[in-house]
């Protein structure tokens, strides 16, 4: 079983889904947030998962911040990292040691609507569908290789809130399922 760390910035609903739907492929051993008011921290406490808030503003630069995150991740012998609503661009300090083993969930069908507020972008252009993408992290913004995607229908009646809810339901299934798949495949290749 591989050890997984989750990075989050907000409510942590995807983090909770990853914990609750974990399989024999992975175990969530750590949550790190970049905000000390992230509700994800309360979810971690409720679920008995060790957690810590590391605030970027407390560091001289991005590299120093990421080194602190990396040091904590290493102290838990983490094999894989999942970004679940983590609202920061990952730099080389964190990316290099986990290249090919750090994935992100994004609320659109990439390459459409990368970056911040993909749901609002989808509503603004009145697309008939959007969705969820799970992808590997690279140096770009939501440009890493796509692992899995699932479409979500957008209706004329959808508001930001209703579309967000539909997308979250898909995220909560797709992210844990994809984590299990890539970790198992990596295990097979590694043997």
Q: Which three-class secondary structure state does DSSP give residue 138?
A: coil
For residue 20, say whether it is annotated as part of any ligand binding site: no
For residue 104, say whether it is annotated as part of any ligand binding site: yes
For residue 61, say whether it is annotated as part of any ligand binding site: no
CA–CA dist 100, 106 (Å, integer): 17
CA–CA dist 172, 77 (Å, integer): 25
Q: Dihedrals φ, ψ of 17, to 5°?
A: -65, -40
Both ends of the chain: CA-CA distance in Å? 14
Residues with active-site annotation: 106
For residue 13, say whether it is annotated as part of any ligand binding site: yes
Q: Which three-class secondary structure state does DSSP give residue 89?
A: coil
For residue 57, say whether it is annotated as part of any ligand binding site: no
Q: Dihedrals φ, ψ of 155, to 5°?
A: -100, 165
For residue 9, say whether it is annotated as part of any ligand binding site: no
In the DSSP assignment, the letter for residue 147 is E
- To the nearest 10 degrees (0 to 180), the angle between helices 160-190 and 118-125 is 120
For residue 46, say whether it is annotated as part of any ligand binding site: no
CA–CA dist 54, 56 (Å, integer): 7
Query: Known binding site for (6R)-10-formyltetrahydrofolate: residues?
Result: 62, 87-90, 104
Binding residues, as ranges, are: 12-14, 62, 87-90, 104
């Amino acid at each position: 079983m591989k050890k997984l760390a989750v990075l989050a910035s907000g409510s942590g609903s995807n983090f909770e889904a990853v914990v609750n739907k974990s399989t024999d492929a992975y175990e969530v051993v750590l949550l790190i947030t970049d905000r000390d008011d992230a509700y994800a921290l309360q979810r971690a406490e409720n679920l008995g998962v060790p957690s810590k808030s590391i605030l970027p503003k407390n560091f001289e630069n991005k590299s120093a911040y990421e080194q602190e995150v990396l040091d904590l991740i290493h102290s838990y012998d983490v094999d894989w990292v999942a970004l679940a609503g983590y609202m920061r661009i990952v730099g080389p300090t964190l990316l290099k040691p986990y290249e090919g083993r750090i994935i992100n969930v994004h609320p659109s069908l990439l390459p459409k609507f990368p970056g911040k507020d993909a749901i609002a972008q989808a509503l603004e252009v009145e697309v008939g569908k959007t969705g969820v993408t799970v992808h590997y992290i690279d140096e770009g913004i939501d440009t890493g290789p796509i692992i899995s995607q699932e479409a979500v229908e957008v209706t004329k009646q959808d508001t930001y809130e209703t579309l967000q809810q539909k997308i979250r339901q898909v995220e909560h299934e797709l992210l844990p399922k994809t984590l299990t798949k890539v970790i198992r495949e990596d295990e097979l290749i590694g043997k």
